[in-house]
Structure 1
Amino acid sequence: MGRAEKVVLAYSGGVDTSVCIPYLKQEWGVKEVITLAADLGQGDELEPIREKALKSGAAQSLVADATLSFVEDYAFPAIQANALYESRYPLSTALARPLIAKLLVEAAQTYGADAVAHGCTGKGNDQVRFDVSIMALNPDLKVLAPAREWGFSREETIAYGERFGIPSPVKKSSPYSIDRNLLGRSIEAASLEDPSVEPPEEIYLMTKAIADTPNQPEYVEIGFEQGIPTTLNGTTLDPVALISQLNESAGNHGVGRIDMVENRVVGIKSREIYEAPALLVLIHAHRDLESLTLTADVTQYKRGIEDAYSQIVYQGLWYSPLKQALDAFIKKTQERVSGTVRVKLFKGNAMIVGRQSENSLYTPELATYTSEDQFDHKAAEGFIYLWGLPTRVWSQKNKG
């Protein structure tokens, strides 16, 4: 790894990224560290974080409000793709990484930095997502990862920071490792590392326990235009407001919790807890609307594309050629995916109870069993004969 003169550091305000500032300067000879904190709707007050970076030795401390881009350019395409990693995880954390990488690369260009840095360790997925995204966006930039190399324990990290005026946490922080943005929260570590242990209720913030949810269901109507959610209960909302309001409604009914053992990019299995109320409901509703508006062959073929897309995003390949090619396919499929889906939220469940679209391929006079039926029943016999002919011939040739 080459050394650098000026570095843009992805900064969260936590111990690790704060210690990265003096570490880069003292141990690796970096002359100037510029920090960048990304506001992705996580709800944190970012001014104290900005000031902490300066007190920790940053030459400049940047704050980027990227929440709208996060939803429009990353979440919405993932919804169009019905992206669920290993059929369960809606990529709420993974989707943030290519955007943060883009912000780092843009800041490096603006401020003339020759490297970017992050505080990821060597065991997680995020190091892969950051490094590969940065390589794709600017292959000439160096990528520095101090926490991947310094080998400090938690106590040693705090002690190192104290030597350079970074205060230790005033109280014992949560034993859990938590990442949050507008789309959801991921929670891991501590007791959760035992996959047989039920997660304690204290870890959840966006979703209510089933026992505390309302005893009456709530109905929400989600309107889509070409696969993108645009309205909630008939009201057109901006993307951030739509996600925020649906998070509140779904979370209030206990919808959006995921407890899974997933396969990390680096080859290990990890027990992960996620909360992603709005994102899960939107994917669920969007997929249902596709069943109404897409032909059978497109719907069925798209399922394989969705699985590939989810793996690509999870594995940090957002800016890869294959991802771009899949984007083109998905965008084409969405041209007629417009309409409204009615969802019933109740006791941890989000049930689709109705859907309608001007582009609906559902034909009542073909589907009905009443006297209005226009389906040609006589045509079925010939169709079945031809459909089953290969099986019949095989059976005749293989008797006994």
Structure 2
Amino acid sequence: MVQEGLERLMDRIVLAYSGGLDTSVAIPWLAEKYGAEIVTVTMDLGQGKELDDARERALALGAVRAHVLDLRNEFARDFVLPALQAGAVYEQRYPLATALGRPLIARHLVEIARLENASVVAHGCGTEKGNDAIRIDLAVRALNPDLEVLEPLGVWDVTKQEKVAFAKKRGIPVPAGADSPYTTDVNLWGRSIEYGVLDDPWLEPPDDVYVLTRAPKDAPDLPAYVEIEFERGVPVAINGVTLSLVELISSLETIAGVHGVGRIDLLENRLGDTKSREIYEAPAGVLLHAAHNELQKYVTPRDLARLASEVGVRYADLVYNGDWYSHTREAMDALVAKVQERVTGAIRLKLFKGDHRVVGRTSPFGLYDQDRIAQSADTRPSLELRP
């Protein structure tokens, strides 16, 4: 990591560019401070906003080259799916949307740095996003320990208002929402919101923090039933319609969000000894984890099911802590893959005004023998009351 106060000249820096205020002002600031060429990388992880003009915006701000990558399928296949199959839900509530995106961002920062012959990469996570900065730093080091990682917001300690002033002074358009009191992160798997009034754990989150989910009181007055089909642990269809993983996640997000499912208010243990109040929206993640967990229990013997549950806790901690690129995860993936061999079938869920529950399950590998249970009930001797 490049330390604060280090002002040596650098030939080229590869910057993860989101198009927001922080990374927009980072382009001219890095160029001015380090005398470097800035190459940007904008990655689509399913943020739901147009990135078509990201290349033009980055070049207009002074980047010498701007890469735009559609990583939605890679994110779903290589990061979301393994975490889903492992049952990785941090502190039994958070499906890890933001945390799962960081190792993918690091992977492509490293790859573009190789292509651009750059020795330094940079990102927009600073002290206010300490967890994310650590996750990217650890991932980059694991993939290429020779690269230096620069955190502009860690070196350039300024307020949001000062960043806005810096942008206006240089004629940099201030992105919409830059004056929001909240800090948000969005991808295909969910949305995180923090800061502002949310810093007070006693206060109920205001309605304006939610975007993906409807308030339960405003949800439909009739329940919805959703059937999710799995093949060897991979969700493949909703209500009989086969979909790609990205399409399936997006569809479930819409269905669950309309019914107010997927809101999470969590006082979580951050890296280190601190706690943080975080608000998450994860409509698809909540439903898919509930369905996969239920189906896996249905087809798995008790001891293996309990072991798999314990692995899920460790897997979630590993993702949260930024240790995605580790031998430990690879070993856990091997166990998880073995368990998934039988996770084939369907789960039916009922959604109603913020609530979701499993109401049906079927599998060719189910360990529940309905005929045997019925036979046992028919042959069980009756108890007669004696005078």
TM-score computed with the length of structure 1 as normaliser: 0.90
Counterpart selection for 2:59 from 40, 54, 69: 54
Counterpart selection for 2:253 from 241, 247, 262: 247
Residue 259 (1) aligns with residue 230 (2) = no
**After the TM superposition, which of the residue ranges 361-370 and 74-83 deviates more from structure 2?**
361-370
Say which SS state the counterpart of residue 66 (structure 2) adopts. Answer: strand
**Contact 1:256/1:280, CA 8 A, preserved across alignment:** yes
Structure label with greater radius of gyration? 1
Counterpart-to-counterpart distance in 2, 1:170 and 1:218? 35
Counterpart-to-counterpart distance in 2, 1:270 and 1:357? 40
Give unpaired runs (5+ residues) of structure 2: 381-387
Which string of whole-angstrom CA distances, capped at 9 and with x for unpartnered residues, describes residues 26-57 of structure 1? Answer: 11232x11111111111111123322211111
Say which SS state the counterpart of residue 208 (structure 1) adopts. Answer: coil
Counterpart-to-counterpart distance in 1, 2:377 and 2:330? 47
Counterpart selection for 1:93 from 92, 98, 118: 98
AA in 2 matched with 1:125: N
* Distance change (3 Å), C-alpha of 1:168 and 1:243: closer
Counterpart of 1:142 in structure 2 is 148
Counterpart-to-counterpart distance in 1, 2:106 and 2:334? 22
Counterpart-to-counterpart distance in 2, 1:338 and 1:106? 36
Say which SS state the counterpart of residue 27 (structure 1) adopts. Answer: helix
Counterpart of 1:45 in structure 2 is 50
**Contact 1:22/1:161, CA 8 A, preserved across alignment:** no
AA in 1 matched with 2:160: R
Residue 353 (1) aligns with residue 359 (2) = yes
* Distance change (3 Å), C-alpha of 1:122 and 1:92: same
Residue 370 (1) aligns with residue 373 (2) = no
AA in 1 matched with 2:117: G
Once the two structures are superposed, the pairs formed by residues 255-294 of structure 1 within 5 Å of their partners are 255-294=261-300
**After the TM superposition, which of the residue ranges 360-369 and 318-327 deviates more from structure 2?**
360-369
* Distance change (3 Å), C-alpha of 1:267 and 1:5: farther
Counterpart-to-counterpart distance in 1, 2:260 and 2:355? 8
Counterpart selection for 1:67 from 66, 72, 94: 72
Say which SS state the counterpart of residue 103 (structure 1) adopts. Answer: helix
**Contact 1:178/1:187, CA 8 A, preserved across alignment:** yes
Counterpart of 2:40 in structure 1 is 35
Counterpart of 2:22 in structure 1 is 16
Aligned-pair RMSD on alpha carbons? 1.7
Give unpaired runs (5+ residues) of structure 1: 374-400
**Contact 1:56/1:165, CA 8 A, preserved across alignment:** no
Which string of whole-angstrom CA distances, capped at 9 and with x for unpartnered residues, describes residues 180-222 of structure 1? Answer: 1111111111111111111111111111111111111111110
AA in 2 matched with 1:282: L
Counterpart-to-counterpart distance in 1, 2:355 and 2:318? 28
Q: CA deviation at 1:78?
A: 0.9
* Distance change (3 Å), C-alpha of 1:346 and 1:155: same
Say which SS state the counterpart of residue 345 (structure 1) adopts. Answer: strand
* Distance change (3 Å), C-alpha of 1:297 and 1:164: same
AA in 1 matched with 2:105: I
Once the two structures are superposed, the pairs formed by residues 109-258 of structure 1 within 5 Å of their partners are 109-123=114-128, 124-168=130-174, 173-258=179-264
Say which SS state the counterpart of residue 241 (structure 1) adopts. Answer: helix
Which string of whole-angstrom CA distances, capped at 9 and with x for unpartnered residues, describes residues 78-116 of structure 1? Answer: 110111101110101111111111111111111211111
Matched positions, count: 373
AA in 1 matched with 2:103: P
**Contact 2:20/2:175, CA 8 A, preserved across alignment:** no
Q: CA deviation at 1:352?
A: 0.3
Counterpart of 1:80 in structure 2 is 85
Say which SS state the counterpart of residue 59 (structure 2) adopts. Answer: helix
Q: CA deviation at 1:171?
A: 7.5
Counterpart-to-counterpart distance in 1, 2:119 and 2:169? 27
Aligned-pair identity (%) = 48
Q: CA deviation at 1:267?
A: 3.2
* Distance change (3 Å), C-alpha of 1:152 and 1:260: same
* Distance change (3 Å), C-alpha of 1:292 and 1:372: farther
**Contact 1:175/1:189, CA 8 A, preserved across alignment:** yes
Counterpart of 1:381 in structure 2 is none
**After the TM superposition, which of the residue ranges 255-264 and 157-166 deviates more from structure 2?**
157-166
Counterpart-to-counterpart distance in 2, 1:298 and 1:169? 50
Counterpart of 1:380 in structure 2 is none
Q: CA deviation at 1:233?
A: 0.6
**Contact 1:207/1:275, CA 8 A, preserved across alignment:** yes
Counterpart-to-counterpart distance in 2, 1:251 and 1:304? 29
Say which SS state the counterpart of residue 89 (structure 1) adopts. Answer: coil
Counterpart of 1:329 in structure 2 is 335
Counterpart of 2:383 in structure 1 is none
Counterpart-to-counterpart distance in 2, 1:137 and 1:164? 36
Say which SS state the counterpart of residue 9 (structure 1) adopts. Answer: strand
Counterpart-to-counterpart distance in 2, 1:169 and 1:61? 18
